[in-house]
Chain A
Amino acid sequence: MPVLELQGISKHFGAIHALTEVDMLLEPGEALGVMGDNGAGKSTLVKIIAGNFPPTGGEIRIEGQSVHFSKPVEAREKGIEIVYQDLALCDNLSAADNVFLGREIKSGIGPIRWLNHAAMVKRAGELFSELKSETRPRHLVRQMSGGQRQAVAIARTRLSNPKIVLMDEPTAAISVRQVAEVLDLIRRLRDHGIGVVLISHRMPDVFAVCDRVMVMRRGRKVADKMIKDSSPEEVTGLITGAIHVA
């Protein structure tokens, strides 16, 4: 059974049709690349799945069950985690603090609860080593490289045993060496049986880690193919509109 299913999703902002009748399927342990030019509707699609705003029309199903989100927390409760384009990290906090932000581990006696720093540092360290990242839990995010920041953002998604991880341009702002690190992180999520949706501008990234690619143009889905049946040239053509439908 697909872990995520979108059927006829549309989104209108006034007269602007950001998305028109988009269908999408995601199997567990599958990495799906979503590509398209600026304004093709990729981010709108992610935001709808993440519960930032509801679609104007269409249906979202998670493991066959129809769901309606009005805020991101509800999507998270259903097992959807998001790595945002700007990573949504607090520079002034440590890696461990960022991983556990909003769901801190606490201990205490009766109604008096306090933060269990040791447990959070330990768990964050485990998550980083699971992701084979050399990020240290106690380091401030301010002092980290782009790849390490990605690891923090991704480790956060591993806290809750998610079914689906959405990644919005995770390699947009980092160096070439760190891109390889992030792609490894994505492979590891997939190997854990998590469905990954990778929104990206970068053709090599999508062809390196994804099983399937979906191309959007002007709010519509124009292609949905297995990576092995496609080529960067074809996808480029689909994105720019040189090829109409694949």
Chain B
Amino acid sequence: MSLETQASIGQEIASLRDPGLDAREKTFIERVFANQAFWVTIALVVMCGVMSYWQPVFATEDNFFNITRNFAFIGVMALGMTPVIITGGIDLSVGSTMGLVAIVCGLVLLKQPIHYMPGWWNAAAWTHSWWMALMLGLTAGAIVGWVNGVLIAYVGLPPFVVTLGMLSAVRSLAVVLSENRMLYDFNPNQAATFKQIGGGENFGFALPGGLRLSNPFLILVILTLALGLVLKMSSWGRHVFAIGGNEQAANLTGVPVRRVKVQAYVLCSLSAALAAILSVGWSGSANNSLGQSYELLAIASAVIGGANLMGGEGTAYGAFIGSALIFVIRNSLLMAGVDSNWQGLFVGAFIVLAVVLEKVRGRRRE
């Protein structure tokens, strides 16, 4: 065989392996089918259909109101978790952050003086207002996220270890600050406004047709849209994806990698703080055990929705739909009369299934 024929056979083989350029430009339909969040949405719709047929109680307005509110707390955290996962990181401390923020809010709203605070703090009125609770709660969350981010981005410690340490430290702080009490004896005027934030519905408006949507769910919807826009349309979003794709490349091309990472962790902790504020408002009490093991649910939601724990992939809608699926599974199992202790098994199976799906898609892509 002459060299020339060898070369042309080689080229043909190469072109077989490397199909025409246009074949790689995916159509809209193909892109939808390749999208994990799309399949999760289908699974969710099917599950809701089956449940409505089988258990008419499932399709009631009340149950819809409850499910959407229940998954909103985890949904908000999953949204915050998403940029962190896209950068290739993880935040295990969000559950504990919820506990700390709940206690901070509870202490501000508490009727009784706090013995370890100075006299002027206990005497003043503004230090016990609903907005003070809100501000201090968010500040506490931001500080946790900032410490996480600085240790990870500037000191260069692995995210898993830093946030695992924070999980323990922050929970302990919550127990110490609360002196291991549950806080519920709130200053009635201020607490009423605070409870309205997390416990109210329709943001206080009347919706046509008597539709009822909880405030936490509405906030989740707004934040999903906002995060979706930020990830798609801002250079910050682009940089988050770039860091997850190739951190060194991002650095070399002038992306402020460390700053973006810190911002991602602050955002993540802020989302946990917001979830805690909504939760305290809804339940009317602050418990230092709030959010225990929620970090796993938040991470699971994002992963089920298509976020890749190796970094570089994830969407706001995925976090939303992932958390919805987890809570519909839980709700369905309860209604089906399955012992609630089995829930973890089903949720766990779905997490593994989601990652298997991701692997299969990844192999097809190569």
Contacts and interface: CB of A to CB of B under 8 A. Distances in A.
Interface string B351-366: 0000000000000010
Contact of A88 (B24, B244, B246): B246
Contact of A139 (B11, B25, B233, B235): B25
A72 B254 CA distance: 8
A134 interface: yes
A115 B234 contact: yes
B238 A91 contact: no
B24 A104 contact: no
Contacts of A101: 238-239, 242, 249-250, 253, 255
Contact of A104 (B11, B14, B18, B238): B238
B349 interface: no
A138 interface: yes
Nearest to A87: B249
Nearest to B232: A115
B253 A102 contact: yes
B248 to A, nearest CB: 7
Contacts of A84: 252
B233 A90 contact: no
| Interface magnitude class on chain A | 20 to 34
A72 B252 contact: yes
B365 A142 contact: yes
A91 B244 CA distance: 10
B79 to A, nearest CB: 19
A139 B25 CA distance: 7
Contacts of B234: 113-115
B200 interface: no
Given A72-B252, A90-B241, A136 B246 contact: no
Contacts of A92: 241, 244-245, 312-313
B250 A106 contact: no
Nearest to A175: B14
Given A73-B254, A134-B21, A175-B14, A115 B312 contact: no
Contact of B254 (A102, A115, A145, A175): A102
A145 B242 CA distance: 20
B206 to A, nearest CB: 32
A136 B249 CA distance: 20
A221 interface: no
Interface residues of B, number: 27
A154 to B, nearest CB: 14
A211 to B, nearest CB: 28
Interface string B154-170: 00000000000000000
A113 B242 CA distance: 19
A142 B235 CA distance: 21
Interface in A163-217: 175, 177
Nearest to B235: A104
B242 A88 contact: no
Given A91-B312, A177-B14, A156 B24 contact: no
A11 interface: no
B233 A103 contact: no
B312 A102 contact: no
B18 to A, nearest CB: 6
Contacts of A102: 239, 250, 253-255
A106 B235 CA distance: 8
A93 interface: yes
A115 B238 contact: yes
A76 B18 CA distance: 35
Nearest to B86: A92
A230 interface: no
A89 B249 contact: yes
Contacts of B232: 115
Contact of A93 (B14, B241, B365): B241
A89 B24 contact: no
A5 interface: no
Interface in B292-321: 312-313
Contacts of A97: 238, 241-242
A136 B163 CA distance: 40
A90 B257 CA distance: 13
Contacts of B24: 136, 139, 143
Interface in A42-86: 72-73, 76, 82, 84, 86
A69 B199 CA distance: 57
Given A115-B233, A136-B25, A145 B245 contact: no
Nearest to B230: A114
Interface string B28-49: 0000000000000000000000
B80 to A, nearest CB: 21
A136 B24 CA distance: 10
Interface of A: 72-73, 76, 82, 84, 86-93, 97, 101-104, 106, 113-115, 134, 136, 138-139, 142-143, 145, 156, 175, 177
25 contacts: A82-B252, A86-B249, A88-B248, A88-B249, A88-B252, A90-B250, A90-B312, A93-B238, A97-B242, A101-B239, A101-B249, A101-B250, A101-B255, A102-B250, A102-B253, A102-B255, A106-B235, A114-B234, A115-B233, A134-B21, A136-B25, A138-B25, A139-B24, A142-B365, A145-B18
Q: Can you list the 10 inter-chain pairs with the closest CB atoms, starting with the nearest?
A: A90-B245, A102-B254, A92-B312, A88-B249, A92-B245, A102-B253, A114-B233, A104-B235, A101-B253, A90-B246
Interface of B: 11, 14, 18, 21, 24-25, 232-235, 238-239, 241-242, 244-246, 248-250, 252-255, 312-313, 365
